[in-house]
Amino acid sequence: MKRDVYDRLEDWKKSTRRKPLILNGARQVGKTYALKYFGKNFYEKTAYLNFEKDEKLSRYFEDTLDPKELIKLISIHTNVDIEPSNTLIILDEIQNAPKALNSLKYFYEDANQYHVAAAGSLLGVKTAGSKGFPVGKVNFLHLYPLSFFEFLTALGEQKTREYLEGYRGYDPLPTPLHEKLIHILKFYYFVGGMPEAVATYVKNDRLNTVREVQWEILNAYEKDFSKHAPAHEMIKITSVWEQVHRQLAKENKKFIFSAIRKSSRGRDYEDAIQWLVDAGLIYKNYLVESPKFPLSAYADHQTFKIFLFDVGLLGAQSHLAPQTIIEGDQLFTEFKGSLTENYVLQELIASADIKPYYWKSEGIAEIDFLVEEDHEIFPLEAKAGASQKKKSLIEYAKKYNPSKLLRTSAMNLKQDGNVYNFPLYLVSKIRNERTN
């Protein structure tokens, strides 16, 4: 399955600033497959170690951190004659071997002619507060679930994708193409971007089977809680995880701790939520009442919404039936637009590494996302359907007078004065287009 990360990995290989690479991301987003594919297609040889499957491998790194000695040991273990530049050394599930993680520092300082790529599913969890992390000595890439454009590629719609990527301006797309893309988007809402779910859909086109795959993934994550999370936090982590889809189903999607237990307070669950953030499984969207630079300084860290990192898994967690695909627009209004907000959020993060914030004004108006760029803050409203209402945008404009008001919806591409409507399937282009 072709992934956009392959191009970024190739850039890393050629970079004059190349350091040992850490490819991180949630479990089952395809990190191992991506690195093995990269090694097979861009190098003559690959030396692969997996610290989760073979715990004894970490002993190599406990005995020495000298890259020259490690190269010899890895070469013997993998039966690969490791040579600079033409061999990719893959250290998989590196979070299980702290010394191996620390060795990346010495590979950079003393043997950077060797190409080393590490992958870690729970790296953020395992290294939070760690003193052994090779700060400044590694390059990072984050692998997300397949984006909508990657989904198009997986479906054999590469020409459609190329057309969208090359499209400029704000003239509406041809109506048949727009309708086709909205139709495909509905299926993406259901399937999501987990590689196994996408591959299953491409192979047999059966949504019930896709849902079974997604439930298996969710069950695997819950097993991770008991296996990797601190014992005293495990119940809280599970409680937060089970609350995400329930709280997004409410009109006010702000995460309410008393919904878990009546006496619950935010500080009781801070560590549990942070564990899920570090594991890459959830995103937090903070409230900003005064949109000023930098947004992070004006965020209310006690008030936020929580979204899952994959819209398909949100639907599976919510037991959303495949029939919603057949029943027209019902999918787009299920859970009061929470699927749409989740989709928009993950597209913004994956395409532009945007840190999300939202704005609310005294119960009068609410903007789903605020994005800071080029010394200006742009409001972005996400609509599940084709409604042209823009009450919240107008209210925001009265207060802060931004140069552009952004909206994404099921409507076609359109510019109306300083209001720019992007169809939902073009969310990933908003960042590039709004500065034109």
What confidence tens digit (pLDDT) does each residue in 24-60 have? Answer: 999 999 999 999 999 999 999 999 999 999 999 999 9
Could you tell me if 10 and 21 are in contact, meaning their C-beta atoms sit under 8 angstroms apart? no
- Name residues whose C-beta falls within 8 Å of residue 79's C-beta, 6 or more positions apart in sequence: none
Q: For residue 403, which amino acid is it?
A: S
For domain 5-142, is the CATH number 3.40.50.300?
yes
Instruction: Give the pLDDT of residue 67.
Output: 98
| Cβ count near 305 (within 10 Å) | 23
Domain boundaries, the chain: 5-142, 148-434
Q: Is the dihedral of CA 245, 246, 252, 258 positive or negative?
A: negative
- Average pLDDT, rounded, for the chain: 93
C-alpha span between 83 and 43 (Å, rounded):
11
Contact 33, 195 (CB under 8 A): yes
| pLDDT for 436 | 43
- pLDDT, residue 176, reads 98
* pLDDT over threshold 60, residue 433: no
Interhelix angle 338-352/234-248, rounded to 10 degrees, is 110
Measured distance CA(212)–CA(199) in Å, rounded:
13
Residue 364: band (very low, low, confident or very high) from pLDDT cuts 50, 70, 90: confident
Give the predicted TM-score (pTM) of the model.
0.95
Whether 137 and 104 have beta carbons less than 8 Å apart is answered as yes
d(CA 348, CA 65): 39
Backbone φ and ψ for 331, nearest 5 degrees, come out as -60, -35
Nearest to 413 by CA among 400, 426, 398: 426
Ordered alpha helix ranges (H), 229-310? 234-248, 270-278, 295-298
pLDDT band per the 50, 70, 90 thresholds, residue 131: low
**Contacts with 158 (C-beta within 8 Å, 6 or more apart), sequence order:** 152
* Residue among 26, 339, 307 at smallest CA distance from 185: 339
The answer to whether the CB of 420 falls within 8 A of the CB of 434 is yes
Helix (H) or strand (E) holding 379: strand 376-382
pLDDT digits (tens, 9 = 90+) for 152-173: 999 999 999 999 999 999 999 9
Decide if 180 contacts 188 (C-beta within 8 A): no
Q: How many Å apart are CA 434 and CA 168, to the nearest integer?
A: 11
Rg of the Cα atoms in the chain: 23
Q: For residue 278, is pLDDT > 60? A: yes
* Residue 420: Cβ within 10 Å count: 20
Q: Which residues contact 244 (CB under 8 A, 6 or more apart)?
A: 282, 306, 307, 308, 314, 317
For 78-87, 134-143, 366-375, 401-410, which range has the lowest pLDDT when averaged over its residues? 366-375
- For residue 81 the two structure tokens come to 């004659």
Tokens representing 277?
A: 């953030």
**H helices of 279-429, where?**
295-298, 311-317, 323-326, 330-333, 338-352, 391-400
Residues 379-392 pLDDT 10s: 999 998 887 778 99
